[in-house]
Amino acid sequence: MTFNDLGLNKLLLKAIQEQGYTKPTPIQAQAIPVILQRKDILAGAQTGTGKTAGFTLPMLELLLRAKHQTSKHQVKALILTPTRELALQVEENIAAYARHTSYKSAVIFGGVKINPQIVALRKGIDIVVATPGRLLDHISQKTINLSHVDFLILDEADRMLDMGFVNDIKKVIAVLPKDRQTLLFSATYSDAIKKLSTQFLKSPTLIEVARTNASSETIKQAIYHVDKTRKRELLTHLIKEGDWQQVLVFTRTKHGANRLCGQLETDGITSAAIHGNKSQNARVKALADFKAGNIRVLVATDIAARGIDIDQLPHVVNYELPNVSEDYVHRIGRTGRAGNKGEAISLVCVDEDEFLAGIEKLIKKDIPKVWLKDFKPDPSIKAEPINMGGNRGARNKPRGGGSRGNGGNRNSSGGRNSGGGRGRR
Ligand code: AMP
């Protein structure tokens, strides 16, 4: 099956092509035709399956088909997510798929100023991606009008319930039109999810697909245990010994990305860093140089790397493990795409054992461990709390969670898109 077979508008097909997607993933192939028939769905799909495009593309298609009725910018679709990171990521995807349409999207979450969000909403937004807590603030302040919502999407619904959002979700749903289409995505089918779906979905079609990327046969994963102070030396060793020509390296912080980039240059390895503090131009140039093979290493933070799509990227290195386990899946999913072979290596020091445990729990498998003779960790070094850098609170938990609506105390380098209405990009 191709995207053309799904009957999508050419404006969407163009955006899909620009994303480099050649064929729908299993969740997309199953969900898109059902959503296009205006049916509710209950989908068992985790991050990494392509679920975001699975609900966004048919939603945009239906909005385009109804355009003659509702051309004004008013909220027509609402996507609820458990964390600000997911909200940002989903909105980035929506903006990319909607880039040739006139629809504007915005992201709304707590922990940042509410006023820019109010201003953006006042200007007119078609698609809102929100965490429940802040959305309720807008509802109670009457700064958002949800009376024209045709689509409600509950993304990672199980996680929202785990985080105690059930009452918030119910309060949001209470102000939405009854005559709407509801799509619920959840990694698990707990009794609580079943209850939620019987309450709010109309005879939903059940769709379930297996995770495609973390357990993908095409990505060879390995953990290299090493002391923190020797990671740079090990990375240089691996790149030179393996004669790696194109490596995407992830760091947790912007500062860490810059520092590593400078160190690699000192070691004679051409590199560039991309992160939120770099200008758009600098990011575009770095990516173009990397794709063209002018530089061997691109050092990136999670948020900066989100839009990166590189065909046949052979090596991904986690210089530091992410503190949010799902980010691991996103990071390694940059390699081994479309049946190509890829290698994802993580350099792990004793401080990161808890992150590693969280990741292995999420992907439900043990990642093979490697101890190189010349880089054996010093057993006398004890674990220390991890400095998240920047304005992120020091957290040493593998999973997010906690306070309502904004993903605990995580103050991601995001917020940058917060409330920013966007049309064409
Ligand atoms: P998601 O599960 O929505 O977080 O998507 C996981 C990753 O798959 C994202 O990086 C998407 O850009 C990518 N993706 C989504 N659909 C496709 C597709 N049809 N072909 C290739 N990659 C895709």
Q: Are 313 and 334 in contact (CB under 8 A)?
A: yes
- Per-residue pLDDT averaged across 370-393, rounded? 77
Best of 12, 47, 52 for a ligand 1 pocket test (most atoms within 8 Å of beta carbon): 52
Q: What is the pLDDT of residue 262?
A: 95
Write the residue with the smallest CA distance to atom 22 of ligand 1: 21
- As to burial, measured by CB atoms within 10 angstroms (0-12 exposed, 13-18 middle, 19+ buried), residue 292 is exposed
Q: Which two tokens stand for residue 402?
A: 């906690």
Q: How far is the CA of 52 from the centre of ligand 1 (A)?
A: 7
Best of 3, 5, 19, 303 for a ligand 1 pocket test (most atoms within 8 Å of beta carbon): 19
Q: Tell me which of 423 and 351 has the higher pLDDT.
A: 351
Q: What are residue 79's phi and psi, to 5 degrees?
A: -115, 120
- pLDDT class for 362, splitting at 50, 70, 90? confident
Domain with CATH 3.40.50.300 in the chain: 3-212+413-424, 219-400
Please work out whether the CB of residue 111 comes within 6 Å of at least one atom of ligand 1: no
What is the domain class of 3-212+413-424 according to CATH?
alpha beta
Report which ligand 1 atom has the smallest distance to the Cα of 338.
Answer: 21
Q: Tell me which of 30 and 412 has the higher pLDDT.
A: 30
Q: How far is the CA of 196 from the centre of ligand 1 (A)?
A: 27
Best of 25, 99, 324 for a ligand 1 pocket test (most atoms within 8 Å of beta carbon): 25
Write the residue with the smallest CA distance to atom 19 of ligand 1: 24
Determine the number of helices (DSSP H) and then strands (DSSP E) in the chain.
Answer: 15, 14
Please work out whether the CB of residue 325 comes within 6 Å of at least one atom of ligand 1: no
**pLDDT over 70 at 340, yes or no:** no
Q: Are 313 and 298 in contact (CB under 8 A)?
A: no
Q: How far is the CA of 92 from the centre of ligand 1 (A)?
A: 12
**pLDDT over 60 at 137, yes or no:** yes
Write the residue with the smallest CA distance to atom 21 of ligand 1: 21
Q: What is the pLDDT of residue 389?
A: 54
Please work out whether the CB of residue 24 comes within 6 Å of at least one atom of ligand 1: yes
Residue 72: name the closest of 126, 117, 120 by CA.
126
Distance separating alpha carbons of residues 180 and 183, to the nearest angstrom:
10
**Is the pTM for the entire model greater than 0.85?**
no
- pLDDT class for 215, splitting at 50, 70, 90? very low
Look up the CATH number of domain 219-400. 3.40.50.300
Q: What is the pLDDT of residue 170?
A: 97
Please work out whether the CB of residue 50 comes within 6 Å of at least one atom of ligand 1: yes
